[in-house]
C-alpha cells in the first residue's frame, strides 16, 4: 500500500507572520518556514500505520517554493520513505483550484492508495484542497476525521459533529482529511536525520505534470487588493459625572451605532 501525505510548508505560527503588500503572498523571509502542524499530524497517522504493517510505503508530497525542500526533508527524517516536491516559480501565488489541479496531477504521477491531508492549513486556511482533490481524482473522500483505521482496500474513521460521532468508511483509493484531534507528530531521531540526508527529494515542475498554469479558460480567484489593517486607536473613556448616559447616547448616535 502507498500512502501519500500532503505535507505543506508554512511560516512558523509562533513568529511574526507577514503578507507582502504588493503580491499578497506570505513573506517567506519574515520567519522560519516549518512543516504545518496539521501536516505533521497527518504524517503521524501514516507512519503509525506503516510501522505496524510492513510493506506500506509513506510518501510526503508538497508544493511550494524552492526552500520547501527542507520541510520535505524533515518528513523524510521523521520516517517517510520518499519525498516529492512540486516546485515551479510559475506556481507562485497559486489559488486553491490551481493548487488542487497541480497536486492531483502529482498524485496521478506518483501513484497512491490513500492520500492523508490536514483539514485546513494554518496559513491559507482554505479548507477545500482535499475535497477538490477527491473530485479531480474521482475517488471517495472522508473529511475532518478524528480517528482513522486503515485496512486492505478500505479506510474508516470517526467525524465529530454537534455532539455526535459519525462513523464513515470508503474503499481505497481514497482521500482523507484529519483534524487536530490527532496527536502531534513525533520528533526526528539522529538516525532519521542522517538517513534523510542520503534520500532524494524528487522535483516536479508544472510542465512535468502537464499543468498549464496560463490556461485562462479555467476560473481562478484573483487577489483584487491588499492593504494593511489600520492601526488600532485608543477607545473613548466616559467617566460618570452624572451625565454618562447622555454622553454614551451621544457617542453611539455620532458613530451611527444606533
Ligand atoms: C512558488 C510557490 C509559492 C507559494 N506561496 C504561497 C504563499 O505565499 N502562501 C500560501 O498560503 N501558499 C503558497 N503556496 C502554496 C499554495 O498556493 C497553497 O498551498 C494553496 O493555495 C492551498 O491553500 P490552503 O493552504 O488554504 O489549502 P487548504 O485547503 O486549507 O489545505 C488543506 C490541506 O491540503 C494540503 N495542502 C494544501 N496546500 C498544499 C501544498 N501546497 N502542498 C502540500 N499539501 C498542501 C495540506 O494537507 C493541508 O493541510 C505557494 C506555492 C508555490 C509553488
Per-residue confidence band for 32, with pLDDT thresholds at 50, 70 and 90: confident
CA gap 161, 168 in Å, rounded? 12
Q: What is the pTM of this model?
A: 0.87
Point out the ligand 1 atom lying closest to the alpha carbon of residue 96: 21
> How do residues 53-88 score in pLDDT, each as one tens digit?
999 999 999 999 999 999 999 999 999 999 999 999
Q: In this predicted model, what pLDDT tens digit does every residue of 92-105 receive, in sequence order?
A: 989 999 999 999 99
For all residues of the chain together, what is the average pLDDT?
A: 93
Task: Tell me the per-residue pLDDT of 172-188, one tens digit each, with 9 for 90 and over.
Answer: 999 999 999 999 999 99
Asked if residue 173 has a cis previous peptide bond (ω within 30° of 0), the answer is yes
Q: What is the pLDDT of residue 30?
A: 59
Going by alpha carbons, the residue nearest to atom 19 of ligand 1 is 99
Q: Is the pLDDT score of 29 beyond 80?
A: no
Q: List strands edge to edge, sheet with 141-145.
A: 141-145, 174-178, 114-118, 2-6, 57-63, 82-86, 201-204
Whose cell is 470517526? That residue is 158
Helices (H), ranges, 190-242: 190-198
Distance 120 CA to ligand 1 centre (A): 10
Give the pLDDT confidence of 209-221 residue by residue, as tens digits: 999 999 888 888 8
Reply yes or no on whether the pLDDT at 23 is more than 90. Answer: no
pLDDT above 90 covers what percent of the chain?
76
39 lines ligand 1 (CB under 6 A): yes
Could you tell me if the CB of 6 is within 6 A of ligand 1? yes
Amino acid at each position: 500500500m502507498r500512502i501519500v501525505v500532503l505535507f505543506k510548508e508554512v511560516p512558523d505560527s509562533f513568529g511574526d507572520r507577514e503578507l507582502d503588500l504588493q503580491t499578497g503572498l506570505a513573506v517567506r523571509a519574515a520567519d522560519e518556514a516549518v512543516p504545518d502542524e496539521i501536516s505533521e499530524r497527518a504524517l503521524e497517522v501514516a507512519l503509525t500505520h506503516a510501522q505496524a504493517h510492513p510493506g506500506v510505503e509513506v510518501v510526503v508530497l508538497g508544493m511550494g517554493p524552492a526552500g520547501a525542500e527542507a520541510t520535505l526533508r524533515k518528513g523524510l527524517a521523521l520516517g517517510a520513505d520518499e519525498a516529492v516536491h512540486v516546485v515551479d516559480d510559475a506556481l507562485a501565488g497559486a489559488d486553491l483550484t490551481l493548487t488542487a489541479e497541480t497536486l492531483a496531477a502529482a498524485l496521478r504521477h506518483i501513484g497512491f492508495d490513500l492520500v492523508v491531508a490536514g483539514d485546513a492549513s494554518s496559513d491559507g486556511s482554505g479548507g477545500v484542497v482535499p475535497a477538490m482533490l477527491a473530485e479531480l481524482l474521482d475517488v471517495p473522500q472522508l473529511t475532518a476525521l478524528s480517528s482513522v483505521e486503515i485496512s486492505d482496500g478500505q479506510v474508516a474513521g470517526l467525524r465529530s459533529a454537534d455532539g455526535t460521532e459519525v462513523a464513515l468508511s470508503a474503499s481505497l483509493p481514497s482521500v482523507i482529511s484529519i483534524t487536530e484531534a490527532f496527536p502531534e507528530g513525533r520528533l526526528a531521531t539522529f538516525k532519521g536525520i542522517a538517513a534523510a540526508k542520503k534520500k532524494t527529494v524528487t522535483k516536479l515542475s508544472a510542465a512535468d505534470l502537464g499543468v498549464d498554469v496560463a490556461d485562462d479558460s479555467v476560473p481562478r480567484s484573483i487577489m483584487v487588493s491588499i492593504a494593511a489593517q489600520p492601526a488600532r486607536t485608543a477607545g473613548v473613556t466616559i467617566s460618570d459625572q452624572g451625565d454618562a448616559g447622555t454622553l454614551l447616547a451621544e457617542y453611539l448616535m455620532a458613530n451611527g451605532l444606533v
